[in-house]
Structure 1
Amino acid sequence: MTIIPLMDDFCPKGKLRGEHGLSYYIETDSAKVLFDTGQTDALIANAGTLGVDLDRLDAVVLSHGHYDHCGGLSALFEAVAPARPAMYAGKGYSVRKWARTNDGLSDIGLPESSRPPRVPAAIEVDAIVNPFPGLFLQPRAERVDGATANPRFRLIEAGVERMDDFDDELSIVVEERGGIVVITGCAHRGIVNIVKAAMRAFPGKPLAAIVGGFHLGDAPDGTLSLIADGIAELAPGRILCGHCTGTRGFAAISARNRDVSWLACGMRVDV
């Protein structure tokens, strides 16, 4: 399989547009999938620069309902019209999401432009599904070890504010000849938890690679150590970090694991 980041926080190539966000073009033997869309139309320009034909997409998959992962949806569907690839998201992805700051609550959820009718309604996933041969969508990993929940991320339900536990979070698992590849957007429910859930779903399969954002940029040192050690115990063949992993998270994981690299915007990686 091939992964090309159309958007990442680290965008070293001068001809590409960068922003805080994530969008991966993923091509397997059976499907061409776009995983998240960043926060603006930048992925469209970057896809053109990189020679990625978005008109040939089989599906769009959303990791969760934050603006930096879903904000480019309207631009995407305008660009690929009249073709409308199927869109998958975790159940509840469109619920309003907030961040608590010193100035109060800030809306960080799905923008109005990324909601129907501007874009098609998503097929909401509440259990592991297999939309294409060898490619699976895994929702809501059980929170046990190293969850990266942040109390500043909030939901408001029936007028009551509470912490967002990211029930809508969705990961991709690809079954390759060398084992499974687990791809995450932010891993809010914990990268170790997500990978363990995938390994339980595919018992006996080697863990070929872990790919994506791990949301460690503002994690305490103790959490960084816990997660880096937890990843090492899983013995992945390869680790490709991006987006919200952060430099501290990348350093902690690199110190305890082998074959760790940053998956920057514009790279092309065969896994």
Structure 2
Amino acid sequence: MKLTILCDNNTMIDQYYLGEPALSFYIEEGDQRLLFDTGYSDVFLRNAASLQIDLTQPMDIVLSHGHNDHTRGLQWLKEKHLLANKRIIAHPDTFNQKIMASLDIGSPLSVQELKASSSLILSKTPIKLNASITYLGEIPQHFSFEPRMPIGMTWHDHKLVPDLLLDDSALVYQSSKGIFIITGCSHSGICNIIETAKQLSNESRILGVIGGFHLFDVDERLAQTIDYLKSNQIDLLAPCHCVSFHAKAEISKSMRLIEVGSGACLEII
């Protein structure tokens, strides 16, 4: 599997690609082409062009959740008529309106608009995208130190309720050597996500984890997260997007991290 970062908060030294506080990955595995999240603007498209990655071809688009730093790029795909040959996979709550301090922080496109311009699959249960890559669906709670914390409000069953981000999900790639986990923001809890991937794959060997971990403070939650990550003996840990400098520094005291950013590429065997 080859994973290229089309958009991240971070940019790499002497790598002249654009960054923004958002996330988008391009994944190649065998004949499968997959876009994981679409960033906040057209940055992912501009970086893809610079990297000579063709996003006009048929592929799956998997959305980690509905926040606009992961879904707003959909409007550029729609404007450029690039959705017709795409299959979009997401949790059913992904396109519910999301509000924070009176601002709309959700997807720019509705379910109706996406159904009219693409093939849309909404699922709470895991979906096998090919022989090696699986969309995890709704993430169950495994650890008490990772409770779901509401971010803003969302419309659910015709009511405005605290948004617990039940739509937050991830991908797992499985090889003969173990599993590799790909996250968006980990609102569900990075350890909850990893444990779900392990159980779904029936595999305890973790080759690596890349993506947003949603960790900001050096606190008890981070300490327990580090203990869990260490106990799993993860070979490659690449936190990005929504992980603070202080959290990365604390994790790096116990585990080896790699720096990633827009334009970076990982190959997992």
TM-score when scaled to structure 2?
0.89
For 1:209 and 1:139, how far apart are their aligned partners in 2?
20
Residue 156 of structure 1 deviates from its aligned partner by 3.9
CA drift of 1:246 comes to 1.9
Distance in 2, Cα, partners of 1:93 & 1:87: 11
Q: CA RMSD in A?
A: 2.3
Kindly provide the CA deviation profile for residues 64-95 of structure 1, in whole angstroms up to 9, marking residues without a partner as x: 00000000012124446375211101122111
Is this contact kept in 2: 1:90–1:125, CA < 8 A? yes
- Aligned in 2, Cα 1:57/1:267: closer, same or farther, shift over 3 Å? farther
Q: Report the Cα offset of residue 244 of structure 1.
A: 0.4
* Contact 1:74 1:119 survives alignment (8 Å): no
Task: Report if the CA contact (8 A) 2:65-2:169 is conserved.
Answer: yes
Q: Using the TM superposition, give the Cα deviation of residue 226 of structure 1 relative to its aligned residue in structure 2, in angstroms.
A: 1.8
Selected match of 1:256 from 254, 266, 269: 254
> Equivalents in 2 of 1:14, 1:199: separation in Å?
34
| Aligned equivalents of 2:110, 2:140: Cα separation in 1 | 31
Mean Cα displacement is larger for which, 243-252 or 111-120?
111-120
**Alpha-carbon distance between aligned partners in 2 of 1:115 and 1:223, rounded to the nearest angstrom:** 39
Residue ranges of structure 2 left out of the alignment (5+ in a row): none
Residue aligning to 2:55? 54
Q: Deviations over 1:178-208 (max 9, x none)?
A: 2111111001010001100111112245111
Query: In the alignment, which residue of structure 2 is the partner of 1:175?
Result: 174
> TM-score, normalised on structure 1?
0.89
> Per-residue deviation at 1:115?
6.5
Q: What does residue 8 of structure 2 align with?
A: 8
Aligned to 2:90: 89
Which SS does the other structure have where 1:20 is aligned? Answer: coil
Query: What are the residue-to-residue correspondences of 1:110-125 with 2, within 5 Å?
Result: 110-112=107-109, 116=113, 119-120=117-118, 122-125=120-123
Distance 1:127 1:49 in 2: 36
1:85 & 1:151 partners in 2: Cα distance? 31
Contact 1:30-1:132 at 8 Å conserved across structures: no
The separation in 2 between residues aligned to 1:78 and 1:38, in whole angstroms, is: 15
Work out the number of aligned pairs and report it: 265
Instruction: Name the counterpart of 2:239.
Output: 241
2:227 alignment partner in structure 1: 229
Name the % identity.
Answer: 28
**Aligned CA distance change for structure 1 residues 220 and 105 (closer, same or farther; 3 Å):** farther
Specify the alignment match of 1:206 in structure 2: 205
After TM superposition, list the pairs within 5 Å mapping 1:123-142 onto structure 2: 123-142=121-140
Distance 1:82-1:251 versus aligned 2 partners, 3 A rule: closer
Measure, in 2, the Cα distance between the counterparts of 1:266 and 1:230. Answer: 29
Structure 1: how far apart are the matches of 2:73 and 2:90? Answer: 15
